[in-house]
């Protein structure tokens, strides 16, 4: 069995990028200050870095999964320029009120449910008790708790400063 490693779970819109509402195009994507540095720093520590993001814009017919994949591939290429990477981006395209019938359903992967986090912990050798999530909504915190990891609410500013403070606080016993 592979050695267990801690994981940093990040929401996307509002944590990694400025939330402009249903961001699906490269030209609309704007990194949050410190986001690239945060991912690089946790990569260097040997942590897994995962993104768990609700993408109901797909269910609402605002954009397609292919559009989102193009954006996520671009994000990874931009991170690579800084020597950083996201180990996997988990997304939930479903919404119970979606316009697109193929995506109109309740899903265990849609936060506040923990499905995406649990998938990551099943797909990778994650040390759950040393892992935490940074999100910008209460649904992120609920998903983290339901998955058995600490959750910390990011309300803006520099993500690198927040993540370093969060890590120090977490190491001192704060579990969100």
Q: Give a yes or no: residue 79 inside a domain.
A: yes
- What pTM was computed for the model? 0.96
Q: Give a yes or no: residue 176 inside a domain.
A: no
Q: Give a yes or no: residue 23 inside a domain.
A: yes
CATH code for the domain in which residue 162 is found: 3.40.50.1000
Active site residues per annotation: 11, 13
Q: Which domain holds residue 14?
A: 7-171
Q: Give a yes or no: residue 1 inside a domain.
A: no
Q: Give a yes or no: residue 56 inside a domain.
A: yes
Q: Which residues are documented as binding site? A: 11-13, 19-22, 53-56, 92, 110-111, 136-137
pLDDT score of 175 more than 80: no
The Cα 22–Cα 8 span in angstroms is 23
Q: Give a yes or no: residue 43 inside a domain.
A: yes
* pLDDT per position as a tens digit, 6-42: 999 999 999 999 999 999 999 999 999 999 999 999 9
Q: Give a yes or no: residue 123 inside a domain.
A: yes
* pLDDT per position as a tens digit, 109-154: 999 999 999 999 999 999 999 999 999 999 999 999 999 999 999 9
Domain count, the chain: 1
* pLDDT per position as a tens digit, 48-68: 999 999 999 999 999 999 999
Q: Give a yes or no: residue 2 inside a domain.
A: no
């Amino acid at each position: 069995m592979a050695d267990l490693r801690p994981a940093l779970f990040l929401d996307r819109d509002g944590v990694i990028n400025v939330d402009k509402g249903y961001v699906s195009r490269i030209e609309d994507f704007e990194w949050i200050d410190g986001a690239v540095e945060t991912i690089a720093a946790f990569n260097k520590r040997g942590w897994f870095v995962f993104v768990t993001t609700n993408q109901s814009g797909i269910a609402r017919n605002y954009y397609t999964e292919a559009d989102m994949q193009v954006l996520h591939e671009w994000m990874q290429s931009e991170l690579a320029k800084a020597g950083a990477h996201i180990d996997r981006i988990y997304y939930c395209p479903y919404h119970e009120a979606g316009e697109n019938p193929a995506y109109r359903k309740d899903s265990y992967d849609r936060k506040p449910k923990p499905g995406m986090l649990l998938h990551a912990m099943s797909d990778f050798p994650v040390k759950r008790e040393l892992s935490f999530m940074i999100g910008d909504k209460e649904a992120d915190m609920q998903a983290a708790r339901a998955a058995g990891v600490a959750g910390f609410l990011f309300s803006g500013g520099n993500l690198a400063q927040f993540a370093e403070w969060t890590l120090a606080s977490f190491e001192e016993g704060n579990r969100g």
